[in-house]
Structures are given as C-alpha cells and as structure tokens.
A and B are shown apart, each in its own frame.
Chain A
Amino acid sequence: MSGKKYTMLEVVNATLKEEMRRDDKVIYMGECIAGSAVGWASGVYEEFGANRVIETGLVENTMVAAGIGMAERGYRPIIDPMMADFLTPAYAAMTVAGRNRLMHGGKMQIPMVIFTTMGGYLGLGPEHSGTPETMVMHMPGLKLAVPSCVNDARGLLKSAIRDNNPVVYFLHRRLIGDKGFLSEDDSPIPFGVADIKREGTDITVVATGFQVSLCLSVAEKLAPHGISVEVIDPRTLVPLDIDTVIKSVKKTNRALVVDEDFITCGPGAEIAMQIMEHAFDWLDEPIKRIGGKGVVPATSADRFALPQPQEIADAITSLVGAERVSVDIASGARLFNY
C-alpha cells in the first residue's frame, strides 16, 4: 500500500471501465446509469455507447430477469438497480438467477453481477438505507460480495464480473466517498477468502461492509486499555470463509459478530451458529451479535436503528470482562451527495 489515496467511487468507476474494455461481452444495464446520475457510472455511457450501456428505467424485476436471459446467451451483464432497497420487487428474478443452473441440470451458466449500493448512516430514510444481505444469502445459487475498503472494492468487483455465476455486489453508501490506498497487485481478489483487518488476541470480531470500519475504530480506542481485538472481514458472505473465523476464535476464545442487516436471521445469526458448530469447546463466553434493530432506519433515527460504535465497544468489554470504555466515535451523518 503506497502512493495516492482514492475514493471508492473513483476506484469502482475505473474498475468498471477496465473490465468493460477487457471483455466486450460485459454489458452494463440498469436505472439512471446512462446519464451518469450515479457517480460510479460516470463517463461509462460516453465511452461504451448504447449497445454496452443499456438504460432500463426503473424496472428492477425485468432488468434482473433480462440479465439472466442475456447471461445464458454468453453476455456478462452487470445489472444496476441503484439501491439494494429497490431489489425487493426483483426478488422473483433473483430467485430464478439462483436456482436456474441447478434446476436445469447444470446445462447453463449465468455470469451476471447485480451491482448496487446498500446501507444506512446517511439519513436517507426507511427505504433507501437497507442492507438486505440475508435476502441474498438465503437463496441458493447466489454469491454475495460486501467490500469494506477501496482495495477490496476493486479486487472483488473484478472477481464478480469474471465469475460464471450470479453474484450480488453491495457497495456500502457510507463508504463510497471514503479514501483509501490501492495495493500494487491489482489482480482479482478471490471469493471465499476472509481478510484479517486487524490482528488481536483477546476477542474475534467478525464484521462486514461499513461495520468493519466501525469495529476497527472501536478496536483502536480499546487498545490503550489493554484490549486486543482481532477484526475479521469475510469480504464475501457467499461463499463464507468460516475457517479463518474458526481459527481466530480458537485463538481468542471469544466472538462478537457485527452486521448491519436486521438482526433476526441476519448474517450474524448464521456466522454465530457456524462458530457454535465448529468451535463450541473453545468458547469462554457465549457469542454476542449486534445487528440492525427490528425497526427500519428513518431520517435522523439511524442512531437508534443501526449498530453504534459504543454498542460494539460495550459488547467487547463485557465479553473480555473489562471495564466499560467510552469510545466517542461518530457513526454517520456525512452529507451525502452523488
């Protein structure tokens, strides 16, 4: 890691263009992409034209379904419904994408990416703040990438576009303006390989998306108090690299799972249960999980609905048996402007 810092927006935009130059079967299709209304699509239409960049209007179900039809014919569509919340009317098509290959005896492949943004902390309201990771994880046949930093955003997007299966790629909106370093190695980052974002010995914290940076900030604040936190980012929830998590839990003997999706049946529930299945005898404390509360975020109410740094810190100190530490970290409310 060296040199200039880039925003996730710049990196994703550059990666999209790079992949579209590399393979002319890559088609970018979705809503409000031709006019570059969304920053990550800036200049893509101008460079590749109407046959490679297809403006669909707000037809979320049809754009995903059409992506499947195109992928079966050898194209590699990137389908962009702008926001993960807008995938709810597309879930029918997403279930088809997931089960198509299996139910047709493996006779086809669906190299398609559903590429969109997710997440809260920006006060965008109850239907523009969703993190519907579970919706994807639950459906067999879909892969799910949730990058937490600039470098992972690049490497995972390359893998997503080159994968021969339907991949859902959720970019966290709270992160897309953040700057970060790129590694010199710009090769694709393989799916199913977790990254240990911070090494530690007292507790394993598994987090995804924006929660990774919250957990890293919390870990930083707890370090002077003698608490050593290991932060693991699975990077892809499907496939899930549970081995790296288990190895860490066997070292730290404590686990906290932090995720932004609704806590009921959320990714945290799945990961916590897999830790139980594989490392129960190594646990000194019951696993804790933090997730989106069972209410939807609303403008100026994100702080009540979504995981908060102090909540994460409290869970960690209680698990390691330390005194409460006031961390004083802001979680959101960056002015959001595409």
Chain B
Amino acid sequence: MKLTNDQKRLLLDNLIRVREVDQWFVDALLSGKLPLFYHSTQIQEAVGVGGCTFLEEGDSVYATHRGHGISKLIPRGVSIESIIAEHYGKLTGYCGGASGWHPCVPDKGFPMYTALISENLGLACGTAMAHKLDGKGRVVVSFEGDSSAAKAEFHEAINFAGANKLPMVIIIENNGMAQITPIETFLVNKDIANYAKGIGIPGVIVDGQDVIAVMEAVQEAVERARNGGGPTMIEAKTIRLRAHAEGVEDVSLNAPRVTDHEAWLRDKDPVKTFSAQLIAEGVVTQAEIGRMQQDVREEIAQAYEAVQAAPGIPDYAHLQNLLFAD
C-alpha cells in the first residue's frame, strides 16, 4: 500500500493521540485520580495503529488489555471521552460504564471483548464466520499478546480459523512478557509466527516498532482474507516499556526486570522514530507535531471535564435490566 502524505500524517497523529491518552491514564492512576488499574501500552502503539488505521468500515477488531485497547480504539474513531467515561463507570462510556474497560463499540467495529486471554480468538472466529456467511468481504483483525500462544484456546481457535478459511488476521503483539513472566519461561518457540506454519496458515514476523512495516503486513493479510484466502498470523515483535500495570513493581519473576529503558526511548519509540522519519521526508514539521500533541491534550482535558459531570450507573436495578435481552 503506497501511502499519501495525508495518510502518513494520519498514522503519526494516531500514534500521538494514543500516546497522549496513555500518558494521561498513567498520570491519572498514579495521582489517585483514576479508581481502577491501567496497563500502559507506551512504545507498543505502532502495532495497534498500524493494524487498524486503514481498515474499512464494517471490518471488525478484537483488542487486548494493553492500553485497554486504545491503540485500536482511537484509530477507528472511538471518542476519547467515551473511553475515559467508561473507566469512571459513567453512562456516557462506550458501554454505559458497565464494562470498566472491555470495549464493545459495534458501530466502530468492536463487536465485544473478554479479558480472558486467547478467548477473544474464539469470539473472533464467530465474527469472521458471520462475515464469511454474509459474503460482503468484511474481515476480522484479532489481537493477542505472547502469553496467548501457550494456551489451548489459541491453537484451537486459530486452527478452526484455518480449517474454515475464515477472513481473519491474527496479530500477536509479542512484548516478551506475560505480566511478570518472561517468554522463555513458558514458550520453547519464541517466534510465535512459527505456530502458524504448524497449523498450516501463513505466519509473518514484523518489527512492531515500525508502524509502516506493521501496516503493510496487515494490509496484505487483510486483502488475502477479503479475497477468500483465509487467515494469516502476524507476529509483531515489540517491547513493554513499563510495568504490567501502573503502580505495581516492574519485575521479571522474582527480581526487578532488567530493561534498556533509555535506549528503547531513544531508538525504539515509534512516536519519536516515525516523527523523525516524516520530518526528514518533509511530510510534517516539528511545529505541526506540536500542534497534534496540543490538540489531543486539549481534547483529553475537555473529555475529562465532561466525564466528571456525566451521570454514573444509578442502581442495581439498572444492571439487572442489562442481564437479559427481551
């Protein structure tokens, strides 16, 4: 896919918007302003942004817990206000505050979400089966992390997708850590895309820090899926900058995690590297980047204000009424 300058600016803007919202959540949680937990996605944003920015209307996406899905939600147009509102249990949240942070935004292509690792892959198979039966060329992009690959549901669902030639792209966001457990503890084969070969579908490894590389791999797989070519697994090699969740110690097994924090921020941060690339190409200026940051910060501030004023879940009866459909 040959990108126009506008499309490149859109990718950068999405990276910046996700980063700023992530940083806001980190700050809000650490300052006691946010009641529940948060799993930062900083310097992992390129996987979601590259995978989702150029999907079409009607395509479906299953997110992950990292960043509570913001690197997928924001590029597909889910409003920052509805994301923040959901975290505060407000009726203006994308699920009316009932989900905490488990996105179901059907009009933006997010059918549902479960926090049970690998289970989304089975749900995604169903969405993909529906798309296949509908015959309208719609696809599903389903994200999981590396911890998923050790689970039975991962293999069962991806094999099912392959056996049924489902229009599906499985993106494994491999950051090498399952909470506090490093990947070598639970996987012999650390190149997860190899499992695709075992199942019998294409498996591709890309640099998850490179938003263009991710975008190109995903678009190729999406085209194959749209044309009846079945599922593809894309493993995006990435890194986790911060702890599993904010406010908890960043450990690997029982010792502090050894990271290359400064080098990662210098060389691996997709916001920084993609900004530099686009400035060098003459696509954006530093001033324009500053404006992108300023715009989203203002949007977040306004969103937070609106969320504070929004009504919350009123009572038990409200929840009880949501349990069953008529």
What residues make up the interface of A, taking CB atoms closer than 8 Å to B?
27, 51, 54, 56-57, 59, 61-62, 64-75, 77, 89, 92-93, 95-96, 100-111, 140-141, 143, 164-165
**Contact (A96, B119) CB under 8 Å given A69-B125, A103-B95:** yes
Measured CA separation A95–B122 after assembly (Å): 13
Knowing A65-B119, A100-B112, A106-B96 are in contact, say whether A74-B153 is a contact too (CB < 8 A): no
Q: Does B133 contact A (CB under 8 A)?
A: yes
A118 CB to closest chain B CB, in angstroms? Answer: 23
A-binding residues in B (CB < 8 A): 93-100, 102, 104, 106, 111-112, 114, 116, 119, 121-131, 133-134, 152-153, 156-157, 159-160, 163-164, 319, 321-326
A-B contact number at CB 8 A: 142
Judge whether B156 and A61 touch: CB under 8 Å.
Answer: yes
Q: Are A74 and B130 in contact (CB under 8 A)?
A: yes
Contact of A96 with B322 in the complex, beta carbons under 8 Å: no
How many angstroms from the CA of A103 to the CA of B218 in the assembled complex? Answer: 30
Known: A59-B156, A105-B95, A107-B106. A70 touches B321 (CB 8 A): no
Chain B positions within 8 Å of A100 at CB level: 104, 112, 114
Q: A69 near B123 (CB under 8 angstroms)?
A: yes
Nearest 10 CB-CB pairings of A with B: A69-B126, A65-B122, A105-B96, A73-B130, A104-B104, A66-B126, A105-B95, A106-B322, A109-B325, A69-B127
Given A73-B134, A92-B116, A108-B112, CB of A68 within 8 Å of CB of B123: yes
A212 to B159, CA, bound (A): 42
Partner of A102, one of B94, B106, B157, B322: B322
Q: How far is the CA of A267 from the CA of B233 in the complex (A)?
A: 44
Find the B residue at minimum CB distance from A141.
Answer: B323
B94 contact set on A, CB distance < 8 A:
105
Least Cβ–Cβ distance between A269 and chain B, in angstroms: 22
A104 near B99: Cβ-Cβ < 8 Å: yes
* A51 in contact with B133 (CB, 8 Å): yes
Set of chain B residues within 8 Å of A57, measured between Cβ atoms: 160, 163
Give which listed residue, B98, B106, B124, B163, contacts A69 with CB less than 8 A: B124
Report the bound CA distance from A57 to B321 in whole Å. Answer: 37
Complex CA gap A70/B326 in Å reads 19
Known A70-B126, A92-B116, A93-B119: A165·B324 in contact at CB below 8 Å? yes
- In the complex, the answer to whether A72 meets B95 with C-beta atoms within 8 Å is no
Measured CA separation A64–B98 after assembly (Å): 23
